Amino acid sequence: MSIDFTALAQKYGTPLYVYDFDVISENYRKLKEAFAGHKSLIAYAVKANSNLSVLKHLGELGAGADCVSIGEVRRARTAGIAPYRIIFSGVGKRDEEIEQALREEILMLNLESEAEMERVEAIAKTLGKEARISIRVNPDVDPKTHPYISTGLHENKFGVAIETAKRMYIRAKNSDWLDPVGIHFHIGSQLTELEPIREAAQIVADLVRSLAAIGVEIRFFDVGGGLGVVYDEETTIDLAQYAETITTAIRGLDLTIVCEPGRYLVANAGWLLTRVLYEKRNGDKRFVIVDAAMNDLLRPSLYKAYHRIEPLFDGSDRGEASPADIVGPICESGDWLGKEVALPPTRSGDLLLIHSAGAYGFTMASNYNTRGRAAEVTCEGGACRLIRKRESFEDQIRLETEPLEEKQ
Ligand code: LLP
């Protein structure tokens, strides 16, 4: 559908996150279809966009959830995603988180160290519940992406080496309280090349074969997330080739393929809508100051990430377009959303649309500079609705009790 962003800005104010659930549905179906003919579970990486309505929408399409905190597990459950479709990953889980996850009877806990396995075993024993686990293997391949979102090399903190994983599986098999059902790898995010995935899948599939030979029967082959999307002019991985690469790696094995995409499902189904406050020049440099900032969309500041910025006004009668930095009101030089963006002269109130903001946009937002987080709206089948209110000043100070108590 074509979304009337101007009407949405008028109705809900700016900055505003806008999502298109029809695009999410389409993305989900394309990936699911790529795995047709094979048992598969698409466990959406909740961290990319954890709004309950987004989770409910994906859950209704058949998606499960890949979670990295008990908070995310609870979000998935609150949105109606069944426990047997939920995976709990992450390098550091607190005891209470492990306990709650075991009580929820989720599909599996994904473990990232021997120490963690010991904790899970002890807690499972106390609860009298066998823990279904998977182990995150670090296959030591270079995913060729941004170093901050690369995770599959030994120099990263994620997963365990093959030999350690083997030892852990044997230990788990011999435990009354651990049931090793899965194996997992995730080499990085925003991947645009298939080769590293092929390499990793083969390494991990070989491990599954050698485990089978010693009586450890793995049922879930979790290939992580990481499918790249187009922000600028990237060429992305072909889904049919992606699926084929994985099914080829596990040929002859009876495994359910689990994949955990975040960005692929939601990034290009979301936009951040912002209004121009003013323009200024410092010497030769032109700045357009807008009402969204790094607290709303951190990716440019944190990764120098590119997000296409589109003017939603007709500037044809205003003179030549020239390059401008699009910056927010925050007191940091790093507070920018776009560099050298060609724009005609702007006026206060003009709307700019920041593209590809559906993943790691709102979820990485903060209250820095006591700025309330943006509202979120979704559009589906031709109609748009509010799915999260704009955060008020009162919302922000709600948990700070001391000054209020002193007044009373
Ligand atoms: N599975 C695991 C184990 C992960 O660590 C991640 C992402 C995913 C799945 C989902 O990855 P995706 O399909 O979305 O690429 N904040 C960064 C991205 C950090 C990704 C962290 N892990 C960004 O804005 O680019």
Confidence of residue 301 (pLDDT cuts 50, 70, 90): very high
pLDDT at residue 155, as a whole number: 66
pLDDT single digits (tens) 306-334: 999 999 999 889 999 999 999 999 999 99
CA distances from 307 to 15, 298, 356, 391 (A): 16, 11, 6, 24
Identify the residue whose C-alpha is closest to ligand 1 atom 23: 360
pLDDT single digits (tens) 250-285: 999 999 999 999 999 999 999 999 999 999 999 999
Q: Residue 203 is which amino acid?
A: I
Identify the residue whose C-alpha is closest to ligand 1 atom 6: 225
Q: Please, are residues 291 and 317 in contact by the beta-carbon 8 Å criterion?
A: no
Compute the average pLDDT of residues 8-19: 98
Rounded Cα distance between 54 and 65, Å, is 11
Which is the closest atom of ligand 1 to the Cα of 89? Answer: 3
Which is the closest atom of ligand 1 to the Cα of 261? Answer: 13
Spacing, Cα 43 to ligand 1 middle (Å): 12
Q: Please, are residues 139 and 162 in contact by the beta-carbon 8 Å criterion?
A: yes
Identify the residue whose C-alpha is closest to ligand 1 atom 7: 189
pLDDT at residue 209, as a whole number: 98
pLDDT single digits (tens) 205-234: 999 999 999 999 999 999 999 999 999 999
Quick check: 406 pLDDT over 60?
no
Identify the residue whose C-alpha is closest to ligand 1 atom 16: 360
Rounded Cα distance between 359 and 370, Å, is 23
Residues with Cβ within 8 Å of 292's Cβ and at least 6 positions away in sequence, in order, are: 14, 15, 272, 274, 328, 337, 354, 374
Which is the closest atom of ligand 1 to the Cα of 264? Answer: 13
pLDDT at residue 401, as a whole number: 85
Spacing, Cα 322 to ligand 1 middle (Å): 35
Spacing, Cα 82 to ligand 1 middle (Å): 22
pLDDT single digits (tens) 164-210: 999 999 999 999 999 999 999 999 999 999 999 999 999 999 999 99
pLDDT at residue 204, as a whole number: 97
Task: Name all residues whose Cβ lies below 6 A of ligand 1.
Answer: 45, 48, 66, 89, 149, 186, 189-190, 224-227, 260-264, 299, 359-360
Which is the closest atom of ligand 1 to the Cα of 360? Answer: 24
pLDDT at residue 303, as a whole number: 95
Quick check: 152 pLDDT over 60?
no
| CATH tag for 35-261 (out of 1.10.3720.10, 1.10.10.10, 3.40.50.10950, 3.20.20.10) | 3.20.20.10
How far from the centroid of its chain's Cα atoms is residue 166's Cα? 29
Query: What angle, rounded to 10 degrees, do the helices at 239-249 and 195-213 form?
Result: 20
Judging by DSSP bridges, how do beta strands 108-111 and 16-20 pair with one another?
unpaired
Which is the closest atom of ligand 1 to the Cα of 298? Answer: 24
The domain locations on the chain are 35-261, 268-392
pTM comes to 0.96
Rounded Cα distance between 253 and 248, Å, is 10
Q: What is the CATH number of domain 268-392?
A: 2.40.37.10
Spacing, Cα 48 to ligand 1 middle (Å): 7
Our mutation pick for probing the ligand 1 site, out of 41, 42, 44, 47, counting the most ligand atoms within 8 A of Cβ, is: 47
Rounded Cα distance between 372 and 361, Å, is 14
Spacing, Cα 263 to ligand 1 middle (Å): 7
Rounded Cα distance between 61 and 64, Å, is 9
pLDDT at residue 151, as a whole number: 63
pLDDT at residue 67, as a whole number: 98
pLDDT single digits (tens) 32-50: 999 998 999 999 999 999 9
Quick check: 405 pLDDT over 80?
no
Catalytic (active-site) positions: 331
Spacing, Cα 159 to ligand 1 middle (Å): 14
